[in-house]
Amino acid sequence: MPLRAVAEVNLAAIERNVGLLRRRVAHHAPGHGARLCAVVKADGYGHGAAQTARAAVQRGAELLAVATASEALELRRAGLGAPILILGAVSPQELPDALEARAELVVWDQGFVHEIAEASADATAAGERAAPRLHVKLDTGLGRLGTRSVEQALEVVRAVINGAPALELAGVMTHLATADSDHGFAGKQLDAFTPFVAQARALARTEIVAHAANSAATLLISESHLDLVRVGIAIYGADPLNDDPSAQGLEPALALRSYVAAVKPIAPGESAGYGRHFIATQASHIATLPIGYGDGLPRALADNCDVLIGGRRYPLRGMISMDNITVEVGPEPVVQVGDTATLIGTDGDQRQTAEDLARRIGTINYEVLCGISRRVPRIYHRDGVRVE
């Protein structure tokens, strides 16, 4: 009998996606060689951070990015030696973990720069640890982290430079708000970022990198590539436009599967699931699958989703509960107990993507993938060959 729920992750697909993205960057900027940063935050967008990070580095990613200090430390403890950039805010309480992980940090406030310098000075002076590498962030329109003031950002640049040898200026960055939807606004952000990059480089004593592009910009806005692209959702084979991965040449790496635990008849007037949201109007059969919102299957998909079994599509019927869903398999079912059931992935010539599920409930593929819970085992393989 299969596992009650399992996420199968094809590391070879991740490697091919990274290879594709590196070729796209090289094609758009021949001879320039923008580097690729693989974003593996949120447990590798639900795919497993350490495993996907190794696959990305294997195929040429030169930098890894996470959102938190604990995520950086987790990668280090898993044996990853590549440079790691923490994209999110780091509190003073989290700073020791970030420094232990030898992570590069994003800064936009002089006070935090001084805190980093004080926290790292002794270890740096003793030669126990290299000086923390910092990336100064200018907010050109996303409106979250970073300063909107170019002058303030340049003061932060100066603070980092003046903090040497306890600190090192690694780069400057911004974050595009509409690379997936409004290239005009993205262009305005890049126009605002470009003079800041030039001014920061004029101040810097060593070479620094400039970076702005996310997955959508990497695929669609070549002028955003600069020295480094930060690619997240696309390395997992999901479409940053929330449409069709194959249209971008991407290969989904994750399949979410369960199995048929029971099949039984349902008569007109009988119901399936909490609240009797589905009441049969004709004789049929209901298959129960042991997967639910406790595994990350959004409850909003109730009566609004297909399940692939034996190369056929069957409608999900009734409410999604924490641990089970029910599927109508017809008056004369060919479905049997033990059959594999696919929520995300392919079965025969049928396919259902994270984007398909996301559009049904008005969300994005990011949320669907990141929502797959920890209690769902991740099984790793390379094109069907199991990887332990």
**CATH number of the domain that 277 lies in?**
2.40.37.10
- Is position 247 within any domain? no
24 & 152 share domain: yes
- Is position 206 within any domain? yes
In the three-class reduction of DSSP (H, G, I as helix; E, B as strand; rest coil), residue 137 is classed as strand
Residue 48 confidence (pLDDT) above 70: yes
In the three-class reduction of DSSP (H, G, I as helix; E, B as strand; rest coil), residue 304 is classed as coil
- Is position 248 within any domain? no
- Is position 249 within any domain? no
339 & 317 share domain: yes
First to last CA, the chain: 20
182 & 320 share domain: no
Q: Which one of 209, 241, 273 terminates a domain?
A: 241
When divided into structural domains, the chain yields a total of 2
Q: What is the mean pLDDT of residues 353-369?
A: 98
Active site residues: 41, 274
The confidence band for 169, taking pLDDT boundaries of 50, 70 and 90, is very high
C-alpha 288/C-alpha 327 separation (Å) is 6
- Is position 304 within any domain? yes
119 & 158 share domain: yes
What does pTM read for this prediction? 0.94
Cβ neighbour number for residue 352 with a 10 Å cutoff? 20
Task: Write the CA distances from 189 to 43, 284, 341, integer angstroms.
Answer: 29, 57, 45
Dihedral, 120, 122, 123, 128 alpha carbons, nearest 10: 150
64 & 116 share domain: yes
- Is position 388 within any domain? no
C-alpha 194/C-alpha 44 separation (Å) is 30
78 & 143 share domain: yes
Helix segments in the chain, DSSP class H: 11-28, 41-45, 49-58, 69-77, 95-100, 110-125, 150-162, 183-203, 215-220, 354-360, 365-370
Q: What is the mean pLDDT of residues 280-304?
A: 97
Element (H, E) at 315: strand 312-317
> What pLDDT score does 30 carry?
47
Per-residue pLDDT of 51-80, as tens digits, reads 999 999 999 999 999 999 999 999 999 999
CATH of the domain at 52: 3.20.20.10
> What pLDDT score does 119 carry?
92
Residue 305 confidence (pLDDT) above 50: yes
- Is position 377 within any domain? no
Q: Quote the domain boundaries for residue 303.
A: 254-352
Under the phi-then-psi rule, with left for phi > 0, alpha for psi from -120 to 50, and beta for the rest, what region is 97? alpha
